[in-house]
Amino acid sequence: MSRVLPFDWSSLLAEQPLLPVWAKVQVVAAPKLAATLLEAGYKVLEVTLRQEQSWEVLQNLRASPLTLVAGSVRHPDQLARLQTLGVRWAVSPGWCPVLAEAAKKSGIGLLPGISTPGEAMQASRMGYQQVKLFPAKALGGPAYLQAIAAPLPELAFVATGGVSQANMADWFALPQITAVGGSWMLAEDLIQQQDWQAIAHLAKTSLKMAKTLREQTLQQGVKG
């Protein structure tokens, strides 16, 4: 089995342990949303490929200082299209060896989705150091991750799917968590209302909370 290069999502998200996931994109709002996130301290934004206009959003944000991540990547031909846009990072909703192999050949840093220990083992064997647990809450939440991560100490996890500001502390209490992802700071109604001040406040407070929680867990690990 081919092995991927060790694309380091831990380094990508080292200063930003909260990945904003923009699922219901609005093309006209993209420039202002990007500027708002930058002002709130973000450097990375995931734009999911669930709508055709997501491609237009990625195109329009090419000049943004934000590092763009394409989410919900499911087909190798999407990776080729991302290459033409200069997008170097991608996330898949589940484990697919064909997609993983295509990502290796394209040079795109893929964060593969997994939902079972077997899928995590396959990803590890192929060279991945970080994987995405999805749908994290529906699978059983932090307790499920703690159980499957125990025999897989070589892997770090990014949890998405049902993660919120209310339960973020439970996820960051686990040392295996590199980051979490969510959409709550990109509330669709706030974007439609163009309430950028509210979005900036929510995004900034959420990121501050995520940083504090992860730092606490890291410090506990050092003391232990």
- What is the spatial distance between Cα 136 and Cα 158, in angstroms, rounded to a whole number? 9
Contact 108, 83 (CB under 8 A): yes
Q: Cis omega (within 30 of 0) on the bond before 31?
A: no
Q: List the catalytic residue out of 24, 32, 43, 46.
A: 46
**Residue 208 among the catalytic residues:** no
Q: List the catalytic residue out of 105, 132, 211, 215.
A: 132
**Residue 32 among the catalytic residues:** no
Non-local CB neighbours of 120 within 8 Å, separated by 6+ positions: 114, 131, 148, 152, 155
Contact 47, 71 (CB under 8 A): yes
- Catalytic residue numbers? 46, 132
